[in-house]
Amino acid sequence: MDDLTNTKTNLIGRRKQLEQDLAQVSAEMYRRNKELADTNRILSLLRTIDSLMLESRDSLQVVCGQIATFVSAMAEYPFVAILSRQTTQTHRPDLEVYGWAVAEELKNHKSDIVGRIRVNPTSAWLNNSAKTIFIDLKTVPIDKAAISLGCSVASIKQLVSEIPLQAIYVIKLMARQNLVGLMVIGFTGVNAKLLPRDEALLDRLGEAVGVAIDNKVLFEENQYVLKQLRQTNQKLRDLDETKDEFISMASHQLRTPLTSVKGYVSMVLEGDVGKISEEQKKLLSQAFISSQRMVYLIADLLNVSRLKTGKFVIQRQPAQLADVIESEISQLVETAKGRKLELSFQKPENFPIVNLDETKIRQVIMNFVDNAIYYTPAGGHIQVNLVDKGESIEFTVVDDGIGVPKEEQKNMFTKFYRAANAQKARPDGTGLGLFMAQKVIVAQGGAIIFHSEPGKGSTFGFSFSKAKLEELSKTKQTKPAPENPPATAADETKT
């Protein structure tokens, strides 16, 4: 009988132990399931926020409102507000509400005040190391709560009167170690308090929302700057077009009287109006050269304008390059002598006739020789060469002048660029001659020759392949691509 009693007692004890173990397992399973549910909820919220920020093209205000709505609904918070800063260059430093949401049971309450709340970023709490602050509005006076948050007492009073909040939990939204905003969670009810699961959830949310807002703010600021740049660029393009129109008009107006002056001076030099003395001839020759130089400068200005609009045309015709060079140099011999320079050119015999735009080639030759004269000190030498190399022809102007600094040589054919030592030697230069020379030569199928040693001199010139010239001679006119082609719709989509 005793054995039966003991067995029964043991069975009862084991049953109780099993029940206790089962209860513990059930409790543990419930706890873990709840943790899993909380984790899934956090992950779901984070995925939603990431999706909103990556896919949404809406404004920061719209996106913040969407985030607040999702957080309120999925985490079952009565009130959620997200504050940030203005994203334009005219922004105020205050943080203001960009998006907020309330639970269904609070939808009937007034809410105008929420959008007008401003938080001063210089408040003590925002500048200390604490990431969060919990304020129990049942025990903390409104004025102290307002001071803690950095906003006005009136706005907190009105908020609490319109939405029955009993406590608020505020999380700093940080990104790149900077404060980018705040997330405010409002609780209602007598037992309003922050649960441990809320702290974990809001800590993760604070990190995600902070990065999301920072990215969105940067994007909107970049868009704002891009818009400003586009507007500025359009204004610059308009000004550039106006400038080009003025240069073109002024150049045309100047070219006609200059051509007349040059023609009349030429007539006097040739004796068409009677005999002149050697002194008069010398002075008139200088006037003729100066007028020719001005004609070429005006031609450069017109050609720059034509390049931009696609109206720059190469007119090919048979030309005896040796005669062209001799003609241009003859106009500069006296100038070279006046600067005590030796200018020499050995005209080659039986040089082949080539198809080139003679007028534009004359400008290039004049520019190269003229530059050599101006940038070579007194007592220097300038050698002009024209060589038939069989498969190609080559023209060079070699001087022992000031040369070009090595660091500036890469820019020598850039529009309006002038080396520093050239600006000192000739302050009145335009920086257009070499730019147009390269355009003229390349447009006719040639290549520019240039090398220089500072203090020792420079070589400028060009070369043409005979085969290339023969091929291009089949087309009497060519148009290089515009320097700045107009923007197209496709270009706009690339920006």
Three-state DSSP class for residue 134: strand
Q: Where are the domains of the chain?
A: 17-224, 313-478
| pLDDT number for residue 375 | 94
| pLDDT number for residue 70 | 83
The whole-angstrom separation of Cα 290 and Cα 278 is: 18
Is-contact 480 312, C-beta < 8 A?
Answer: yes
Q: At what angle do helices 2-55 and 60-75 cross, to 10 degrees?
A: 170
Domain 17-224 has CATH 3.40.50.300: no
| pLDDT number for residue 494 | 40
Q: What is the DSSP string of 227-261?
A: HHHHHHHHHHHHHHHHHHHHHHHHHHHHHHHHHHH
Neighbours of 24 (CB within 10 A): 10
| pLDDT number for residue 246 | 78
pTM across the whole model: 0.52
Neighbours of 26 (CB within 10 A): 10
Task: Give the residues of the chain that fall short of pLDDT 70.
Answer: 1-11, 21, 34-35, 38-39, 41-42, 45, 49-50, 52-56, 86-92, 109-112, 190-191, 252, 476-495
The whole-angstrom separation of Cα 391 and Cα 399 is: 26
| pLDDT number for residue 388 | 95
CATH of domain 313-478: 3.30.565.10
